[in-house]
Chain A
Amino acid sequence: MELFDNLLMGLSTALQLNNLIFCLIGVVIGTAIGVLPGIGPIPTVALLLPFTFGLSPASAMIMLAGIFYGAQYGGSTTAILVNVPGETSSVVTCIDGHEMAKQGRAGTALAIAAIASFFAGTMATIVIAVLSVPLSVLALKFTAVEYFSLLVLGLIAAVVLAHGSVAKSLAMVLLGLLLGLVGIDVSSGVARMTFGIAALSDGLDFVPIAMGLFGLGEIIANLERPAERRVVSQSIRSLIPSWKDLRAAFPAVVRGTALGSVLGVLPGGGAALPPFSSYALEKKLARDPSRFGKGAIEGVAGPEAANNAGAQTSFIPLLTLGIPANALMALMIGALMMQGIQPGPQIMTEQPKLVWGVIASMWVGNLMLLVINLPLIGLWVSMLKIPYRLLFPAIVLFCCIGTYGIANSLFNVWLMMGCALIGYFFIKIGVEPAPLLLGLVLGPQLEENFRRAMLIADGDFTVFLSRPISAVILAVVAALLLAMLSPAILRTRKEALAE
């Protein structure tokens, strides 16, 4: 069985002592930032990127991936105990999870959330392993023409499926593309939009941009809101759920896992869409929907499974095609490029150890998370007692040092400052910055493949339509965009993404 050979090869990478350590570091950091509201995985991954230079590509990716799915675990702890989502993906867990905590069943809710996450993480690892091979075989048929169309599909789908206005998100993608063009043009050697600044000739680093837009901009906006964090003083009694609880939760976990795995693969889905859909589904299927909102265990189990499954399967497009499904995956692509690995359809055949190592590490990481989260829950709860007034200056400082660290350049720190201002401006005018990051990371590849395609086809634009795979991909793009114009779908989308 090729699948088992691959997984075994992956396990042999993931179980190397240093990779185990980096996996552990990743999931611990992930849990910590997941527990703390106000710090998301995006600035954290951006912050740690510079320090992954010295690691092997596999260790770097294993650690960064651990931060992402670790954050999904941690986010639910805060949601259940404080009724504040630690991460956007755990918003729905607040509803029934916190209600359970109020009824004195915080331990059960935490345990169910962790078990659901673990089950979903395990299944999602298998889904990734099964889907990756056929996708990468297909991907090998791709030339610049198909790859360009695929990049377009990735960008458009990410925009359409993520929340926020589609038109604004498209504009943000373009803005990101434009920023990606800054620097010396590869084919002609001419400096573009560098304004005579030497530091710009290699292009804009995306780390300062990500940290400014997502980290600092968010902090400034957070500080404008009045503080409203009440820490629960409730002791967590029994962490072991009863049989009855497990039986009630199990079907929801399975459904949540399935739903999350499917939605996670879609660009733009990532970790935010699945839990909402799962919650809606559970409520619809329940014999007595009125229990929801009053501490229904399915309302915790389903969404928690869905968000973990989704977080993990969103790695599929990245690992097989080199296309990021969301802003965080865009950072992962950046991490690969820093390691000198060109992301793209060939990544799986050229770097099998890396890809399968990362996949296998996810399962190992999930096992670690189960251990880290349940017995050590008290540690994470005490972290919640750190007041925000101490937390945010520390984040600002670490962002400064981290940004400086990518290229030891003060220019990047200034760039981050500018992006913080722009990020704050975006929050004020209600525009999502995530599509910008996607555009920025994919921009150079998009231009390169477009140019190459035009060279192959001698400037004939119809080449994108005359090649079958490319034509199908572009047809999907057109369908997505047309669907957005239809008022009926627009309304359902608004409802689905509302709240």
Chain B
Amino acid sequence: MTRSRIDVQDLLFGLFLVAVATGTLVATRNLTIGHAADMGPGYMPRVVALALMAFGVFFTGRGLWRAGRGIAPVQLRPLLAILASVGVFALTAERLGLAIASVAAVMLASFATREGRLVETVAFAVVLSGAAVLLFVKLLGLPIPIWPR
């Protein structure tokens, strides 16, 4: 962790909260608020969003005001590999079936580290895919196609 002139952690959290709060207020702008004795659907979301906004402004301000810890540099390889693995599973599971989706997801996830060896990864992916089909479809009865329809 590097020292930093501003508190990057606080600043980012603050901005994140402000963004969420703003988004909520925009998304709920058409909902009736009502009043305490007879609350409309918009009452609670707005109360919570306003509180979040207050927290967001507080953290943003504190982050700019005081020195603090910077954040460790983001390594793209694990991040992208894991996200891509989940994404590929979501894209292929229902169309190509669990067997193929599993192999694809495991292979992509393995790219997250440089330690992997191709042969080992492929073999492991196939084994895992078989185990997943057996466990989830055959044993636990998950309604998902195994092969492409």
Task: Tell whether B72 is near chain A: CB-to-CB under 8 Å.
Answer: yes
- List residues of A (162-200) whose CB comes within 8 Å of B's CBs: 167-168, 170-171, 174-175, 177-178, 181, 185, 187-188, 190, 192-193, 195
User: Which residues of chain B are near A447, meaning CB under 8 Å?
Assistant: 44
Q: Which of B37, B55, B89, B112 contacts A171 (CB 8 A)?
A: B55
Of all chain A residues, the one with the shortest Cβ separation from B62 is A167
Are A193 and B45 also in contact (CB < 8 A) when A393-B124, A397-B102, A405-B136 are? yes
Most buried by B among A174, A397, A416, A429: A397
User: Which residues of chain B are near A51, meaning CB under 8 Å?
Assistant: 140
Residue pair A429, B13 in contact (C-beta under 8 Å): yes
Residue pair B79, A455 in contact (C-beta under 8 Å): no
Are A420 and B37 also in contact (CB < 8 A) when A389-B113, A397-B102 are? no
Task: Tell whether A18 is near chain B: CB-to-CB under 8 Å.
Answer: no
Residue pair B71, A401 in contact (C-beta under 8 Å): no
User: Which residues of chain A are near B55, meaning CB under 8 Å?
Assistant: 167, 170-171, 174
Bound CA–CA A431/B142 (angstroms): 35
Min CB distance B71 to A, Å, is: 5
Min CB distance B108 to A, Å, is: 8
Residue pair A421, B13 in contact (C-beta under 8 Å): no
Count of chain B residues with a beta carbon within 8 Å of a chain A beta carbon = 69
Q: Which of A175, A224, A401, A461 contacts B20 (CB 8 A)?
A: A175
Task: Tell whether B100 is near chain A: CB-to-CB under 8 Å.
Answer: no
Q: Which of A129-137, A266-274, A357-365, A406-414 contacts B (4 or more CB under 8 A)?
A: A406-414
Residue pair B144, A408 in contact (C-beta under 8 Å): yes
Bound CA–CA A110/B83 (angstroms): 38
Residue pair A428, B110 in contact (C-beta under 8 Å): no
Are A396 and B93 also in contact (CB < 8 A) when A181-B48, A224-B75 are? no
Bound CA–CA A224/B72 (angstroms): 10
User: Which residues of chain A are near B51, meaning CB under 8 Å?
Assistant: 174
User: Which residues of chain B are near A393, meaning CB under 8 Å?
Assistant: 85, 105-106, 109-110, 112, 124-125, 128
User: Which residues of chain A are near B71, meaning CB under 8 Å?
Assistant: 428-429
Min CB distance A93 to B, Å, is: 26
Residue pair B45, A454 in contact (C-beta under 8 Å): no
Bound CA–CA A185/B28 (angstroms): 12
Residue pair B82, A193 in contact (C-beta under 8 Å): no
Min CB distance A182 to B, Å, is: 9
Residue pair B89, A397 in contact (C-beta under 8 Å): yes
Q: Mark A227-240, 1 if CB is under 8 A from B, else 0.
A: 10000000000000
Residue pair A400, B86 in contact (C-beta under 8 Å): yes
Bound CA–CA A60/B132 (angstroms): 21
Residue pair A421, B59 in contact (C-beta under 8 Å): no
Task: Tell whether A493 is near chain B: CB-to-CB under 8 Å.
Answer: no
Residue pair A428, B102 in contact (C-beta under 8 Å): no
Task: Tell whether B148 is near chain A: CB-to-CB under 8 Å.
Answer: no
Bound CA–CA A76/B49 (angstroms): 42
Bound CA–CA A401/B10 (angstroms): 35
Residue pair A397, B36 in contact (C-beta under 8 Å): no
User: Which residues of chain A are near B142, meaning CB under 8 Å?
Assistant: 401, 404-405, 408
User: Which residues of chain B are near A390, meaning CB under 8 Å?
Assistant: 120, 124
Q: Mark B112-128, 1 if CB is under 8 A from A, else 0.
A: 11011000100011001
Are A413 and B93 also in contact (CB < 8 A) when A170-B55, A174-B48, A400-B86 are? yes
Residue pair B35, A459 in contact (C-beta under 8 Å): yes
Most buried by A among B51, B59, B89, B136: B89
Residue pair A455, B28 in contact (C-beta under 8 Å): no
Q: Which of A143-151, A215-223, A284-292, A376-384 contacts B (4 or more CB under 8 A)?
A: A215-223
Are A171 and B83 also in contact (CB < 8 A) when A408-B144, A410-B93 are? no
Bound CA–CA A220/B45 (angstroms): 32
Most buried by B among A190, A390, A400, A404: A400
Min CB distance B149 to A, Å, is: 15
Task: Tell whether B6 is near chain A: CB-to-CB under 8 Å.
Answer: no
Residue pair A420, B83 in contact (C-beta under 8 Å): yes
Min CB distance A387 to B, Å, is: 8
Min CB distance B12 to A, Å, is: 5
Q: Mark A435-464, 1 if CB is under 8 A from B, else 0.
A: 000000000000100110011001111000
Residue pair A459, B41 in contact (C-beta under 8 Å): no
Residue pair A396, B85 in contact (C-beta under 8 Å): yes
Most buried by A among B44, B83, B110, B120: B44
Bound CA–CA A171/B17 (angstroms): 8
Residue pair B28, A192 in contact (C-beta under 8 Å): yes
Bound CA–CA A396/B56 (angstroms): 32
User: Which residues of chain B are near A417, meaning CB under 8 Å?
Assistant: 83, 86-87, 90
Residue pair B116, A224 in contact (C-beta under 8 Å): no
Q: List 10 A-B contacts (CB under 8 A).
A: A54-B141, A167-B55, A167-B58, A187-B39, A192-B45, A393-B109, A397-B106, A408-B143, A458-B37, A461-B36
On A, residues with C-beta under 8 Å from B are: 51, 54, 167-168, 170-171, 174-175, 177-178, 181, 185, 187-188, 190, 192-193, 195, 216, 219-220, 223-224, 227, 387-390, 392-394, 396-401, 404-405, 408, 410, 413-414, 416-417, 420-421, 424-425, 428-431, 447, 450-451, 454-455, 458-461
